[in-house]
Amino acid sequence: MTTHPQRRQTLAEAFEARFGTPPELWCRAPGRVDLMGSHTDYNLGAVLTLPIGRDTWIAASPNHTRSVRLHSLNLHTDASFDLDTADRNADQPWINYIHGVAEELKAEGLPLVGFDGVIHSTVPLSSGLSSSAALECAAATVFEALGGWHLEPLQKALLCQRAENRFVGVNCGILDQFTSTMGQDGCALLLDCRDLSGQPVAIAHGLSIVICDTRSKRELAGTEYGERRAQCEAGARLLGASALREVTPEQFAAREHELPAMVAKRCRFIIGEHARVYALATALANGDREAIRQLTAASFDGACHLYEIAAPAMHSMMAAMLAAPGVIGARQAGAGFGGCMIALVESASVDDFAAAVRTHYAAATGTEPEIYPVTAAAGAGLI
């Protein structure tokens, strides 16, 4: 990965090469990894989430027109849109994430300024670390800085979520955008998706979080995500609750037999996962290794057998992580179906852990994984 000054220079050069002047403004927004939860968000439950040092930068200058012209250094592509139209771009779908943000800002009555921009992200795209929310939140921050108005972090998160729901057409919950705007340097966040409150959670000294990217691509807009969501909503309806979040484990145990078998499995996972979020927050703060091991194991077990979101690459990665030195616990991350996973690792063993996982996973799958520790980063803002 490039250093901060190198990255800045790369963006500045790309900007000047395209637009002829240096950029005037720099914004960033982080990706995220969920430590526990993820699918709990659209059930209005809790998620333990970590805004990470991998982030999306936009270098920008106002262009005194009504158009937004962008280049993505990740996709090596240019695209633009007009602030006064609402046409989706079918050929360059990535620009819809930014155009969608503009549409939501317009709907709030906020004045928008056209700009030129170059985008660069160190969040891997479509790997479960939420490059989409990082892009939306960085773009909203550019519009904010150029428009001369202010959005509270929660407002910005809700607006970017709506952009992804409505304009991009991905029915995501609030987790990704919330983490990207509300992050605090050095802390995990315990997010309550019902009242939209976020509490900082300290991670005990000596524990490190390591991302283990299976490098098997997933498609979030695919049918499975929507299907799981619909099954959860059906379960809540049959149990007479507005969301699964409202159902306690005791209530569920008493009425589980009333549900169709598939719906019952999905609900059992979500209700268990919601409880594990609070338990893991306590375990991380206290450095309780045994609890971390048990909670992450139960989460992965549920992902495999109840929610059925594990892909073959995830089983190979899980085996590699659990066999590596210094591992405390490991589980899936994000929506599942491949992408990234996480391990909690003794800080002193991170290098040995990473080397062992690489060797083991590559031997088992023929694919070189990406393994790297992450720390908590601040939410979206100016650089």
Active site residues: 176
Question: By CB under 6 A, is residue 311 in contact with ligand ADP?
Answer: no
Q: Which of the ranges 120-128, 232-240, 316-324, 351-359 carries the binding residues for ligand ADP, by CB under 6 A?
A: 120-128
Amino acid at 104: E
Question: By CB under 6 A, is residue 122 in contact with ligand ADP?
Answer: no
Question: Considering beta carbons, is residue 11 or 151 the nearer one to ligand ADP?
Answer: 11
Question: By CB under 5 A, is residue 177 in contact with Mg ion?
Answer: no
CA gap 191, 171 in Å, rounded? 19
Q: Where are the beta strands (DSSP E) in the chain?
A: 25-36, 46-62, 67-72, 77-82, 115-121, 188-192, 197-201, 207-213, 327-332, 340-346, 370-374, 381-382
- Residue 338 contacts which entry, ligand ADP, Mg ion, none (Cβ below 5-8 A, type-dependent): none
| Among candidate residues 91, 216, 72, the one with its CA nearest the CA of residue 135 | 72
Question: By CB under 6 A, is residue 75 in contact with ligand ADP?
Answer: yes
Which of 94, 167, 252, 361 binds ligand ADP (CB under 6 A)? It is: 94
Main-chain phi, psi angles of 104, to 5 degrees:
-70, -35
* Least distance in angstroms from the C-beta of 117 to ligand ADP: 11
Task: Report yes or no: 289 and 304 within 8 Å, Cβ to Cβ.
Answer: no
CA gap 241, 248 in Å, rounded? 11
CA gap 188, 32 in Å, rounded? 10
Question: By CB under 6 A, is residue 243 in contact with ligand ADP?
Answer: no
| Among candidate residues 54, 26, 88, 111, the one with its CA nearest the CA of residue 372 | 54
Q: Which of the ranges 59-67, 102-110, 122-130, 225-233 carries the binding residues for ligand ADP, by CB under 6 A?
A: 122-130
Cα distance from N-terminal residue to C-terminal residue, the chain: 18
Question: By CB under 6 A, is residue 51 in contact with ligand ADP?
Answer: no
Question: By CB under 6 A, is residue 26 in contact with ligand ADP?
Answer: no
Which of 30, 37, 128, 338 binds ligand ADP (CB under 6 A)? It is: 128
Which of 81, 97, 143, 337 binds ligand ADP (CB under 6 A)? It is: 97
* Least distance in angstroms from the C-beta of 11 to ligand ADP: 11
* Least distance in angstroms from the C-beta of 372 to Mg ion: 19
* Least distance in angstroms from the C-beta of 243 to Mg ion: 21
* Least distance in angstroms from the C-beta of 266 to ligand ADP: 21
- β-pair partners for 331: 342
Which of 50, 220, 292, 343 binds ligand ADP (CB under 6 A)? It is: 220
Q: What is the DSSP letter of 244?
A: G
Residues in contact with Mg ion, counted by CB under 5 A, come to a total of: 2
Question: By CB under 5 A, is residue 127 in contact with Mg ion?
Answer: no
* Least distance in angstroms from the C-beta of 114 to ligand ADP: 19
Question: By CB under 6 A, is residue 33 in contact with ligand ADP?
Answer: no
Question: By CB under 5 A, is residue 132 in contact with Mg ion?
Answer: yes
Q: Which of the ranges 9-17, 103-111, 129-137, 307-315 carries the binding residues for ligand ADP, by CB under 6 A?
A: 129-137
DSSP per residue, 120-186: EE-SPTTSSS-HHHHHHHHHHHHHHHHHT----HHHHHHHHHHIIIIII-----SHHHHHHHH--TT
- Residue 365 contacts which entry, Mg ion, ligand ADP, none (Cβ below 5-8 A, type-dependent): none
Number of Cβ within 10 Å of residue 278's Cβ equals: 13
Structural tokens at position 138: 């960085």
Which of 132, 161, 181, 299 binds ligand ADP (CB under 6 A)? It is: 132
Amino acid at 35: L
Amino acid at 351: D
